[in-house]
């Protein structure tokens, strides 16, 4: 399985944009890029996913590099509730399980 690399931690101020980077230099052509987050004492929560094109939803935006070797999760206006561990996960399009391989993720701290 292709590996992802994320910074261990990041800080942001409330109501400012946050850009969470993820490197996946060994990504294959059929790998989907998924982002999940885990708030304290809760199960992981889906944020967004994409394949080649940038994606937007009500929670965030996903910017995918042209060579797909990196991506950035963008929270447009961070709130205190966005403090969580964010995971960048690759899922093979040809997978017969769809299982998620979690790394250590990026712990996002949001300051008021």
Partner 1 sequence: EAGVTQFPSHSVIEKGQTVTLRCDPISGHDNLYWYRRVMGKEIKFLLHFVKESKQDESGMPNNRFLAERTGGTYSTLKVQPAELEDSGVYFCASSQELVGVEQYFGPGTRLTVT
* # of chain residues touching partner 1 (CB under 8 A): 24
Which region, judged by CB under 8 A, interacts with partner 1, from 8-16, 18-26, 68-76, 90-98?
90-98
Nearer to partner 1, 13 or 102 (CB): 102
59 contacts partner 1 (rule: CB under 8 A): no
Burial (Cβ within 10 Å: 0-12, 13-18, ≥19) of residue 13: exposed
80 contacts partner 1 (rule: CB under 8 A): no
Long-range (24+ apart) CB contacts under 8 A made by 97-100 are 100/34, 100/36, 100/44
One residue of 52, 102, 109, 111 binding partner 1 per CB under 8 A: 102
Nearer to partner 1, 14 or 44 (CB): 44
Give me the residue label for tokens 């961070």: 78
Which region, judged by CB under 8 A, interacts with partner 1, from 9-17, 18-26, 75-83, 89-97?
89-97
101 contacts partner 1 (rule: CB under 8 A): yes
DSSP string, 31-78: EEEEEEEE-TTS--EEEEEESSS-EE-SS-EEEE-TTSSEEEEEESS-
**Which residues in this chain contact partner 1 in the complex, by CB under 8 A?**
32, 34, 38, 42-46, 49, 51, 91-104
């Amino acid at each position: 399985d292709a590996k992802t690399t994320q910074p261990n931690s990041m800080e942001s101020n409330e109501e400012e944009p946050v850009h969470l980077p993820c490197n996946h230099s060994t990504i294959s052509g059929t790998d989907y890029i998924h982002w999940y987050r885990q708030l304290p004492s809760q199960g992981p929560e889906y944020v967004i996913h994409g394949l080649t094109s940038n994606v937007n939803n009500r929670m965030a935006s996903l910017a995918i590099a042209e060579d797909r070797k990196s991506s950035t999760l963008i929270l447009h206006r961070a709130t205190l509730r966005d403090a969580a561990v964010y995971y960048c996960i690759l899922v093979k399009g040809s997978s017969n399980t769809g299982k998620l391989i979690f790394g250590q993720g990026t712990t996002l701290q949001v300051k008021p």
